[in-house]
A and B are shown apart, each in its own frame.
Chain A
């Protein structure tokens, strides 16, 4: 295999350029995969953190973040009567436009009862709302627009004092803003209504079993929380698709780079492969040589690409904190696999070229 290494290192500049090309492609793949993962995490953040394992929506509504759901009045009491139900947390949600100084921004208002839960899960600064009209604002959104604890934000003329800043609630679309449910009810003129009920089963009761029991309730849809999360992700599929397409393009470009590099290096040394073949090297050995070169370029490129990807994620975090690039171990692993696959794919054509060489050609000039 040292032949492969020597071949690669013989032309150092080209080798460096190749590694750079692969690194850029891998960086892009990693970044985009991380971006997609970040989008998913943001979209599902509330439901993942919310209490309970069962979620009840209005019949016909198939997402938490997308549609407006209103539960039948009195449903919470009905739910509490069902045996096996330990806790019911109602929340009321509404997309709202905030007037911040001279700017208008979208946010997703979540009305919750601080005594029951369903509010912010991590408060970085300040406290939960206690008094009328108090809100907890997403920290990233607040920072972007210069909102601080103690400021007042406005929604259609109504004033809401900001008493806390929450973390993990940012989004590239609509960040979360928390308010007491009673206040949101009066603001929306929907006294006593809820959008969603989060149900916690009693100890020893399986969520699936409880869901089956709740299914009979009229006018509602009963979900395992995990199913509703899946359903939400399907709703946002349209956003993931372009990102995924870009990852695919980055992958293809990367493969093309490694492929061209290895191919041209192979063509250049075609005669030498022919010589090895004439001297008695089997095809398998020559494939090994080609593959080793592809792998070396891909491995080095992938590692540098991953480092670059982390750097890019940092940069994005600094410049656009509302965009989450989630470089989780799974994403990094997938990227490494991508790099490996690039190498295999890239080695395929050169390997065929080598396989096709006629050993007698060594005597020709």
Chain B
């Protein structure tokens, strides 16, 4: 028996293999993980490391090849295919990099439709959607189409949509990648507020190092496995997280800077003072 609060999400030895034979790709290899209520977990890792694959399996969008996923006592990995849509609808809130709003629907309807899918009447669904959007500061944007909203507003609509059926767990894949740093930060603070005020677990997958501030825990995924956190640094030019060992580096005023590529390094060296404030982040 555990003494702590029961975990919202418990993952054991999860693996995913795409394809078979010689072309098979082992995208996720024996990953285990627990997320508690109200906890914000950030999974970082280079492109192609299996982050999206892992998140898809956790969100019941993709069947694992092996392993066990337990959500609020429900063993997802054992459920029949037919039950999964309902689980996704009621137990998860999804937030995507490119927002994925329905382009023909207003902000209000984009949120309301998901409540309706879960069985709420149209009126009640709209009322709940309206309340949520107002809470997220979008009261003046209810009847705007997605194309009329800014990126940050779109992501807030998407977050309202993710919350409308009161799920226990929010899953977000690169939620800030399409936002400028101001709106990215705003989005992250919003997610943090939701986690802390409403006790929702939040699992974020990203390679944006700026998110680390708001996370309770940061995990590093590489080649489909969780690894020791390496020594990471933020590219002062493009903001990407880079591993010091593999990155291109440069010295300026006695400090080391790390870059995702030569292009960024050259841009930095052309005028280091422009990037001077962005110091390399150290991680052990």
Q: CB distance A362 to B61 under 8 Å? A: yes
State whether the Cβ of B55 lies closer than 8 Å to any Cβ in chain A. yes
- Name the interface size band of chain B: 20 to 34
Q: CB distance A280 to B117 under 8 Å? A: yes
State whether the Cβ of B75 lies closer than 8 Å to any Cβ in chain A. no
Q: CB distance B117 to A363 under 8 Å? A: no
Q: CB distance A278 to B104 under 8 Å? A: no
State whether the Cβ of B149 lies closer than 8 Å to any Cβ in chain A. no
| B232-270 interface (Cβ within 8 A of A) | none
Question: What 0/1 pattern do residues 277 to 311 of A give for CB contact below 8 A with B?
Answer: 11111100100000000000000000000000000
Q: CB distance A363 to B56 under 8 Å? A: yes
State whether the Cβ of B86 lies closer than 8 Å to any Cβ in chain A. yes
Which chain B residues lie closer than 8 Å to A278 at the CB level?
Answer: 59, 61, 88, 94
Q: CB distance A360 to B62 under 8 Å? A: yes
Q: CB distance A272 to B102 under 8 Å? A: yes
Query: Given A9, A281, A365, which contacts B97 in the complex, CB threshold below 8 Å?
Result: A365
Q: CB distance A365 to B61 under 8 Å? A: no
Which chain A residues lie closer than 8 Å to B117 at the CB level?
Answer: 276, 279-281, 285
Q: CB distance A10 to B104 under 8 Å? A: yes
Q: CB distance A363 to B104 under 8 Å? A: no
Q: CB distance B102 to A281 under 8 Å? A: no
Cβ distance B58 to chain A, nearest Cβ, rounded Å: 11
Nearest chain A residue, comparing its CB with the CB of B174 = A363
| B53-101 interface (Cβ within 8 A of A) | 55-56, 59, 61-62, 85-90, 94, 96-98, 100
Q: CB distance A277 to B85 under 8 Å? A: yes
| B112-128 interface (Cβ within 8 A of A) | 113-114, 117-118
Nearest chain A residue, comparing its CB with the CB of B82 = A282
State whether the Cβ of B173 lies closer than 8 Å to any Cβ in chain A. yes
| B177-233 interface (Cβ within 8 A of A) | none
State whether the Cβ of B109 lies closer than 8 Å to any Cβ in chain A. yes
Which chain A residues lie closer than 8 Å to B114 at the CB level?
Answer: 279-280
- Name the interface size band of chain A: 20 to 34
Which chain B residues lie closer than 8 Å to A359 at the CB level?
Answer: 61, 88
Q: CB distance A363 to B85 under 8 Å? A: no
Which chain B residues lie closer than 8 Å to A202 at the CB level?
Answer: none
Cβ distance B257 to chain A, nearest Cβ, rounded Å: 29
State whether the Cβ of A3 lies closer than 8 Å to any Cβ in chain B. yes
State whether the Cβ of B49 lies closer than 8 Å to any Cβ in chain A. no
Which chain A residues lie closer than 8 Å to B103 at the CB level?
Answer: 10, 269, 272
Question: What 0/1 pattern do residues 354 to 365 of A give for CB contact below 8 A with B?
Answer: 000001101111
Cβ distance A27 to chain B, nearest Cβ, rounded Å: 29
Which chain A residues lie closer than 8 Å to B161 at the CB level?
Answer: 279
Nearest chain A residue, comparing its CB with the CB of B177 = A365
State whether the Cβ of B105 lies closer than 8 Å to any Cβ in chain A. yes
Q: CB distance A362 to B90 under 8 Å? A: no
Q: CB distance A7 to B100 under 8 Å? A: no
State whether the Cβ of A103 lies closer than 8 Å to any Cβ in chain B. no
Cβ distance A158 to chain B, nearest Cβ, rounded Å: 75
Query: CA separation between A277 and B97, bound complex, in Å?
Result: 17
State whether the Cβ of B26 lies closer than 8 Å to any Cβ in chain A. no
Which chain B residues lie closer than 8 Å to A3 at the CB level?
Answer: 102, 104-105, 109, 113
Cβ distance B132 to chain A, nearest Cβ, rounded Å: 15
Query: CA separation between A275 and B104, bound complex, in Å?
Result: 14
* B contact residues vs A (CB 8 Å cutoff): 52, 55-56, 59, 61-62, 85-90, 94, 96-98, 100, 102-105, 109, 113-114, 117-118, 161, 173
13 contacts between A and B (CB under 8 A): A3-B104, A3-B109, A6-B104, A6-B109, A279-B89, A279-B114, A279-B117, A280-B118, A281-B85, A281-B89, A359-B88, A362-B96, A363-B96
* A contact residues vs B (CB 8 Å cutoff): 2-3, 6-7, 9-10, 269, 271-272, 275-282, 285, 359-360, 362-365
Inter-chain pairs besides A272-B102, A280-B88, A363-B55, 4 sampled, C-beta below 8 Å: A275-B102, A280-B117, A359-B88, A362-B96
**Minimum-distance CB pairs A-B, first 3:** A280-B89, A6-B104, A10-B104
